[in-house]
Structure 1
Amino acid sequence: MALFLGACATDKERAERAGAALGTFEAQKVRPNLPDDCRKQERSGVRMGEPLDTALIRTDRALGRANARVKRCADWHDQVGAGIDEGAK
């Protein structure tokens, strides 16, 4: 009889155990820090008095570098997120 009654837990106790387990699980899903490269900002390097065609080329190259960085960082973020989501299953 004691074994039977010992297995009974109140709703509150079961909820507390479930909450603790869920909290532990959620704490393990912390994303790593963003790579330093993802925080870098680009400058065109255009100088006062430069011909407009040169300024346009410099600006276009800077924009290309910035767009490539955004894509790399977004891909990294998606891969990390997918790994965390897979671990949640």
Structure 2
Amino acid sequence: MTACGTVDERLQVAAATQGETEATKELPPYPTDCRLRERSGVRIGEPLDVALIRTDQALGRANARARRCGQWYDKIKIGFAGGEGD
């Protein structure tokens, strides 16, 4: 039975160490890029085809940013889950 006591003690120490490690995890700063807003840049009096192109380009930039920020979040989530993803 003495061997079981040492195993239990090692498990308790390991659990305490893991708990301390988890408690010290901090989120990294949110990427500045993810806080940006996009504008179309359409000007009064521009032809509609130019306005549509500008708007479509702005939407493309916003969607690309959303993908980058989502990938950033997914990596952070995996790190906090101990390497496990959804």
Task: Using structure 2 for the length normalisation, give the TM-score.
Answer: 0.69
* Compared CA separation, residues 75 and 87, structure 1 to 2 (3 A): closer
Q: Give the residue type in structure 2 aligned to 1:72.
A: R
How many pairs does the alignment contain? 69
Larger RCO (CA under 8 A, 6+ residues apart): 1
Q: From 43, 47, 50, give the equivalent of 2:39.
A: 43
In structure 2, runs of 5+ residues without a counterpart are: 1-15
Which stretch shows the higher mean deviation, 20-29 or 59-68? 20-29
- 2:82 counterpart SS class: helix
Task: Using structure 1 for the length normalisation, give the TM-score.
Answer: 0.67
In structure 1, runs of 5+ residues without a counterpart are: 1-19
Query: Which residue in 2 is equivalent to 1:74?
Result: 70
Q: For each residue in 1:18-68, what CA deviation from the matched residue of structure 2 results, as whole angstroms up to 9, or x when unmatched?
A: xx8787444323211111000011110000000001000000000000000
Contact in 2 for aligned 1:31/1:81 (Cα 8 Å): no
Q: Give the residue type in structure 2 aligned to 1:61.
A: Q
Question: How far apart, CA to CA, are the structure 1 residues paired with 2:82 and 2:22?
Answer: 13
Contact in 2 for aligned 1:44/1:62 (Cα 8 Å): yes
Larger Rg: 1
Instruction: Tell me the C-alpha RMSD between the 2 structures.
Output: 2.2
Question: How far apart, CA to CA, are the structure 2 residues paired with 1:34 and 1:57?
Answer: 31
